[in-house]
Homo-oligomer: A and B are copies of this chain.
Amino acid sequence: MTRPVDKGHPPAKSSSSVVIIVDDDAGIRASLDSLFRSVGLETRLFASAAELLGGPLPDRPGCIVLDVRLPGVSGLDLQGQLTRQGIGYPIIFMTGHGDIPMSVRAMKAGAVDFLSKPFRDQDMLDAVTAALARDAQRRADATAKEDIRAQYETLTAREREVMGYVTAGLMNKQVAGLIGLSEITVKIHRGNVMRKMGVKTLADLVRKAEALGVSQTRGTTDQT
């Protein structure tokens, strides 16, 4: 799943943030475009969900400002589709004819805010500021995790197996017994794991394993 997000390219100028506007009303699009540009934000304008889903999305910090009522796929449905495709842009909803259940549904699904039209410019800017902050955090987390995963991908099957047991706290000889190897071989795999994962200490390896969710966490706990 997880639709590609225009990745793989060189760094690009991805410093500034982009606000993706989806509204079927050209007037609204124009005024939002103007509002965001006035504070130095870049924008992308779309008139429908289909239009947004049609092309690639930028791989940059940003957020989505989304009208609930759209031709074809509604804003709430679009929210679900984006989530399922692994597109994590924070979403700010706006609506002219919303009700409480609609807003609650949107917020439950992770929306940053839900504004009723007409709204004050400042309210929208505040919401976008919050959304961009959330996105920055999300992207930082995702990048860190992706780096670790990339290292993990370079491991062979055996090395991953050994890594799981080692980060669970088992001794080399225990690992050797469990998978039917000599202790020397386990040591070699273990050394390879440390090198490929880019860590020098077991503590760091454990932390990376936790981030990956690959720790075996077998009961080596407590006593009294």
Residues of A in contact with B (beta carbons under 8 Å apart): 98-101, 103-104, 107-108, 113-114, 116, 166-170, 198-204, 206-207, 210, 215, 217, 220-224
**CA of A170 to CA of B204, assembled, Å:** 10
Chain B residue nearest in CB terms to A168: B203
- The number of times this chain is found in the oligomer is 2
Bound CA span A166–B204, Å: 11
Q: Which residue of B lies closest to A165 (CB)?
A: B203
A114 partner residues in chain B, CB cutoff 8 A = 100, 104
A163 to B199, CA, bound (A): 19
A223 touches B210 (CB 8 A): no
A169 CB contacts on chain B under 8 angstroms: 200-204
Q: Which residue of B lies closest to A119 (CB)?
A: B101
Shortest CB distance A193–B (Å): 13
B residues near A101, Cβ cutoff 8 Å: 116
Q: Closest CB of chain B to A170's CB: distance in Å?
A: 8
CA A103 – CA B217 in complex, angstroms?
41
Query: Could you tell me the distance between the alpha carbons of A112 and B170 in the complex, rounded to whole angstroms?
Result: 41
Question: Separation in Å of the A205 CB from the closest CB of chain B?
Answer: 8
Residue from the list B100, B198, B200, B220 in contact with A199, Cβ < 8 A:
B220
Q: Report the nearest B residue to A98, measured CB to CB.
A: B100
Write the chain B residue with the least CB distance to A116.
B100
Closest to A203 in B: B169
Name the B residues within 8 Å of A220 (CB-CB): 199-201, 203-204
In the complex, A166 Cα to B99 Cα: how many Å? Answer: 55
